[in-house]
């Protein structure tokens, strides 16, 4: 079930969304230059990815590193990816849903919303993987927050979706609820699996946490003033 585009119009240029996509691609290009499986990249991810055990240590008063070194990865981790497939998949979802949320919130508020969603998503992952020493990276938690906000604001929009050999429009609320439900089920499965806890893998709980936080937080952010809609101010 691959989304191709949505039919919810925007009435402003999503400069921050473009910036976030460009920044993620630029950093991924740097990672690619290091080599996706290189020791240098592994060292970079270990330093700037969020390691649950380190973050839990900070919260319990026994951080492995300094507080700054432990807190910084909550932000930097959302700009790192493990492969081109990883970053391109995330950026496509951000391209698809992010412009509408920026249009609703305005540029600066959207950036704050995105970063807070990413941090909340990572904290959710840490809560469910407290003993993990594997760095967690990726923008998907922040993007899940954007998707949660989209569900609240534009449930009746339609998402043109490629399903096997069919391309059909699906109501946004159906598409997003199916996606979120799948993430929840996969997260529950990984929590029940010792191998899932030990090996890490996809941070499904970060997706769930980001999505729920996005749904809740969008209610706290006011719609930007003088929003252009339907051709009039």
183 belongs to a structural domain: yes
Residue 232 has pLDDT above 90, yes or no: no
Rounded mean pLDDT, 105-129? 95
Whole-number pLDDT of residue 149: 98
pTM for the structure as a whole: 0.91
233 belongs to a structural domain: no
Q: How confident is the model at residue 67 (pLDDT cuts 50, 70, 90)?
A: low
Domain containing residue 133: CATH number: 1.20.1540.10
Percent of the chain with pLDDT over 90: 73
173: left (phi over 0), alpha (psi -120 to 50) or beta: alpha
Whole-number pLDDT of residue 152: 97
Whole-number pLDDT of residue 64: 56
Residue 65 has pLDDT above 50, yes or no: yes
Residue 229 has pLDDT above 60, yes or no: no
Rounded mean pLDDT, 51-76? 75
Least confident residue range of 52-56, 166-170, 212-216, 217-221: 52-56
228 belongs to a structural domain: no
161 belongs to a structural domain: yes
Its domain, for residue 180, covers 2-217
* List of residues 6+ apart from 33 with CB closer than 8 A: none
Q: Please give the Cα distance from 81 to 31 (Å, whole number).
A: 8
149 belongs to a structural domain: yes
Q: What is the mean pLDDT of the chain?
A: 89
Residue 202 has pLDDT above 90, yes or no: no
Q: E strands of the chain, at which residues?
A: 2-6, 158-163, 166-171
Distances (CA, A) of 124 to 25, 119, 183: 25, 9, 13
Q: How confident is the model at residue 230 (pLDDT cuts 50, 70, 90)?
A: very low
229 belongs to a structural domain: no
Whole-number pLDDT of residue 131: 85
Q: In this predicted model, what pLDDT tens digit does every residue of 138-150 receive, in sequence order?
A: 999 999 999 999 9
Rounded mean pLDDT, 164-181? 95
Q: Please give the Cα distance from 213 to 116 (Å, whole number).
A: 9
Q: In this predicted model, what pLDDT tens digit does every residue of 192-201 receive, in sequence order?
A: 774 444 444 6
Residue 181 has pLDDT above 70, yes or no: yes
232 belongs to a structural domain: no
Tokens in use for 130?
């407290």
202 belongs to a structural domain: yes
Q: How many domains does the chain have?
A: 1
**Nearest residue to 222 via CA among 115, 106, 144:** 106
């Amino acid at each position: 079930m691959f989304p191709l585009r949505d039919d919810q119009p925007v009435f402003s240029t999503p400069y921050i969304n473009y910036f976030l996509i460009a920044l993620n691609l630029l950093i991924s290009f740097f990672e690619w230059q290091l080599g996706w499986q290189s020791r240098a990249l592994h060292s970079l991810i270990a330093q700037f990815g969020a390691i649950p055990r380190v973050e839990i240590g900070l919260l319990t008063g026994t951080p492995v590193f300094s507080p700054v070194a432990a807190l910084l990865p909550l932000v930097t981790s959302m700009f790192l990816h493990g492969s081109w497939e990883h970053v391109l998949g995330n950026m496509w979802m951000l391209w698809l849903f992010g412009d509408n949320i920026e249009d609703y919130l305005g540029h600066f508020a959207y950036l704050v919303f995105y970063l807070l969603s990413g941090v909340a998503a990572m904290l959710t992952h840490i809560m469910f993987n407290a003993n993990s020493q594997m760095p967690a990276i990726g923008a998907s938690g922040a993007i899940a927050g954007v998707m949660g906000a989209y569900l609240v604001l534009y449930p009746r929009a339609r998402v043109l979706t490629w399903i096997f050999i069919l391309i059909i429009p699906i109501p946004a609320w159906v598409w997003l609820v199916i996606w979120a439900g799948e993430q929840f089920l996969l997260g529950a499965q990984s929590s029940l699996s010792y191998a899932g806890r030990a090996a890490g893998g996809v941070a499904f709980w970060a997706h769930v946490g980001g999505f729920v936080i996005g749904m809740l937080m969008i209610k706290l952010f006011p719609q930007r003033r003088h929003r252009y809609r339907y051709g009039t101010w």
